Structure 1
Amino acid sequence: MFARMLPSRLCSAGGGSSPSAAATPSSVLSPAATLSRQYAHEVHTLSFREIWSKIHEDNVHAIDDDREPGPKLSVLLEPNRDGVEKALRNAVSDPLTGLVSEYFDHSEHASDLCLSLQQKVDLARAVYSSLVDLLSVLPSDGNEFSRPQCDALYAAFCQFDSHENPFPSPDGSGNFDEVHRCSSRLETQLDGCLRKSHSKLKLQRRAVMGSSLCIAGTALAAIVTVALVMTHAVAAFVCIPCIGAHFPCHRIRKKELERVAQLKAAWKGTDVLHKYMDNLNCLVKRLHDDMEHDKNLVRIGLEGGGDRIPILLVMNDLRKNVSKFQEHLEDLEIHICLGFKMVNRLRQDLLDKICRQSSAP
């Protein structure tokens, strides 16, 4: 059942049921990339199918319906906001907690933008639906093109021209710009924290080495003392201070390593999301330009006032353009689902590290 919901070119590609290793962002998220075998395997994974089903479960395809289409973000995002807030409440409160919380907020905002793009995909399909249906049944030979068919296509042109382009203009993509600014700022902050943590680890490593040398020296002195005094009391008295100093340093280093693991996970999540949203923006710009081009063609047909010749010329061009536009819509739709899959994986990885630190003795 589910396979019929996917675009046909994906259902027929890479039909193996066992998915390959997850593709890298550069191979999956490049807008210029074709649907490779690895790409096809990605969309056949169970996690992708679950996301696809949730996104398309209750979509609204009517253009004039004011109801909010699609599922709620909390259903798609894993872990959702409640799970994240619960984990952060149990986490150690420090400056890192604020950055981690900001990352979760940022990824949630970006996911919400993806969900709004899915609604634009549905709206674009609705805008094109009557035009696509009509073009699919009209003859390609102009000699067989009747007057009633010409009038029907002219009416479809009028209806198509009456709708606004649902995709944002390349000059006014404020949402993507905001995501870009947030990503850049957060990456810079996380990178600075990582540098400080690495510096602390270097100092702690030197301290541990110093403590180890102290213990080794003390042990050697103890052996000499034992040989001279023939008692273990003095040896124990000498060893205890340095050994005691070694273990607190080890615990501090362990906590700093856990902190670095969280910082790296948050930095990776922000960096991947940053690149993904930039590529998604390219796909949206392409769709905006595709639709503007089709609207300009339709206006040329309308300027003829229903004359048969310009409508025929526009119809032939639109047939080619509409097919490409539908493929580009599918590309964006698949990238949106892959984006949710990627974001969920990165969010869960970071949350697991936070929970491990919280439960550590």
Structure 2
Amino acid sequence: MNHCFGVRSWETQRQFRRGQRRERGETEFRSESSGISPIQSPTSTINLTNRAYHIAVRSESYTKIWYKIHRIDDSESTSSPASTILEPDKASISRALTEIPQTKTISLISDYFDYSEHTNHLCIDLHYSIGHARTIYDPLKDILLLPSPEISIAFGRFQTAANPFPELPSRDFDTVQHRLQALRDLLNTEMKRRRWRRKSGEIMQMEEAAKGAFVLRNELRTIERLVCRLHATVESNIGWLRMGERTEVAMMVVLELRRNLSGFDVQLGDLEQHLCSCLNFVNQTRVKLFHQVMFRRNTR
């Protein structure tokens, strides 16, 4: 499966991040000298309307994911960021699964590990889309403070910037959601068939995987809506920027863009939090299932 949404290759991502670090150099120096971290607090823009979500994004595991995903932006490592975030790693899971009898349950659990890994890739790609969007639009906020004639000239530079967000549903995104739903259906069917046999260990594994598939699909549907909204906002901004080249309407465009960019920052923050929440849940479920698999292996 292609995990890149057509945004950029992993090597291109590394080059892009190096450029971001050069651009951030002066800002980071000021931040360090004032004792302020250049990375935003993971709980600074929390939406309090959902109690369960509010609790989740204040958890220690969520905070760990938040800082880890932002630190990889500054990493010079040649390894994939998805593998840096994913726990347990693919090699450990593959090794554990090959050391126990290959039953239908294990086949379904293996599928869940695969689909959760795909979800991890999708979230990481969208994380880079957020960084790309901020790199494009943060300078625009400064331009909006310039006199009208200069604004009209400056707007032309932003029209050629590609929309950093995919136009969903993309094939990759849709495929993962479909497979998660199909897996949950298979797990539920298998659990109903096996209840009378009292195979508690396998039932527990299937219950955990079914719950994980259900939650991840819902998370991806929420993320999909947020990405669609961001894509539409960027397209709207591009339209306003084209109008802004006409000096006589430049100030009207400035007012509209100021309003749009304020909301745009909120949208980026919402998506960022949901991505971290999804990555956190991926790891939590994988760890639980991995421990169950290891227990079965050690008690054979």
Fold shared, TM-score > 0.5 on shorter chain: yes
- List runs of 5+ in structure 1 lacking aligned partners: 14-32, 61-66, 139-148, 202-252
Q: Deviations over 1:287-320 (max 9, x none)?
A: 0111111111111222x2xx2x300000001101
**Could you tell me how far 1:43 is from its partner in structure 2?**
3.4
**Could you tell me how far 1:5 is from its partner in structure 2?**
2.0
In 1, Cα distance between the equivalents of 2:89 and 2:177?
22
**1:115 alignment partner AA:** I
Larger deviation: 93-102 or 112-121? 93-102
In 2, Cα distance between the equivalents of 1:83 and 1:155?
55
In 1, Cα distance between the equivalents of 2:118 and 2:38?
31
Q: Deviations over 1:87-127 (max 9, x none)?
A: 21222221211111111000000110000000110111111
**Could you tell me how far 1:2 is from its partner in structure 2?**
8.6
Q: TM-score, normalised by structure 2?
A: 0.80
Higher CA-based Rg: 1
Report what 2:3 is aligned to: none
In 2, Cα distance between the equivalents of 1:188 and 1:121?
33
In 1, Cα distance between the equivalents of 2:264 and 2:292?
42
**Could you tell me how far 1:334 is from its partner in structure 2?**
1.2
Aligned length: 265
Is the partner of 2:158 in helix, strand or coil?
helix
Contact 2:72 2:81 in 1 (8 A): no
In 2, Cα distance between the equivalents of 1:187 and 1:40?
26
Q: Is 2:279 the counterpart of 1:282? A: no
Report what 2:30 is aligned to: none
Q: Deviations over 1:134-171 (max 9, x none)?
A: 22x44xxxxxxxxxx2233223311111111111124x
In 1, Cα distance between the equivalents of 2:262 and 2:78?
25
Kindly report which structure 2 residues correspond to 1:303-342, keeping only aligned pairs within 5 A, or say none: 304=246, 307=247, 309-342=248-281
Q: Deviations over 1:32-56 (max 9, x none)?
A: x656676555434332222122211
**1:290 alignment partner AA:** T
Q: Deviations over 1:38-92 (max 9, x none)?
A: 65554343322221222111427xxxxxx99996212101111122112212222
Q: Is 2:211 the counterpart of 1:177? A: no
Report what 2:244 is aligned to: 301
Contact 1:58 1:71 in 2 (8 A): no
Question: What's the % identity of the aligned pairs?
Answer: 29
Q: Deviations over 1:223-257 (max 9, x none)?
A: xxxxxxxxxxxxxxxxxxxxxxxxxxxxxx4xx11
**Could you tell me how far 1:351 is from its partner in structure 2?**
1.4
Q: Which of 34, 44, 48 is equivalent to 1:11?
A: 44
Q: Which of 132, 150, 153 is equivalent to 2:151?
A: 153
Contact 2:109 2:209 in 1 (8 A): yes
Q: Is 2:160 the counterpart of 1:162? A: yes
**1:288 alignment partner AA:** H
- List runs of 5+ in structure 2 lacking aligned partners: 1-34
In 1, Cα distance between the equivalents of 2:273 and 2:161?
25
In 2, Cα distance between the equivalents of 1:99 and 1:323?
45
**2:171 alignment partner AA:** G
**Could you tell me how far 1:326 is from its partner in structure 2?**
0.8
Is the partner of 1:159 in helix, strand or coil?
coil
In 2, Cα distance between the equivalents of 1:267 and 1:12?
31
Report what 1:233 is aligned to: none
Q: Which of 62, 77, 83 is equivalent to 1:48?
A: 62
Kindly report which structure 2 residues correspond to 1:98-247, keeping only aligned pairs within 5 A, or say none: 98-135=107-144, 137-138=145-146, 149-170=147-168, 172-198=169-195, 200-201=196-197
Q: Deviations over 1:8-48 (max 9, x none)?
A: 9x3387xxxxxxxxxxxxxxxxxxx6566765554343322
Report what 1:352 is aligned to: 291
- What RMSD in Å do the two structures reach over aligned CA positions? 2.6
Moved over 4 A (4+): 1-4, 33-41, 67-71
Contact 2:188 2:210 in 1 (8 A): yes
Is the partner of 1:52 in helix, strand or coil?
helix
Contact 1:130 1:156 in 2 (8 A): no
Is the partner of 1:5 in helix, strand or coil?
coil
**1:85 alignment partner AA:** S
Report what 2:211 is aligned to: 268
Q: Is 2:73 the counterpart of 1:75? A: no
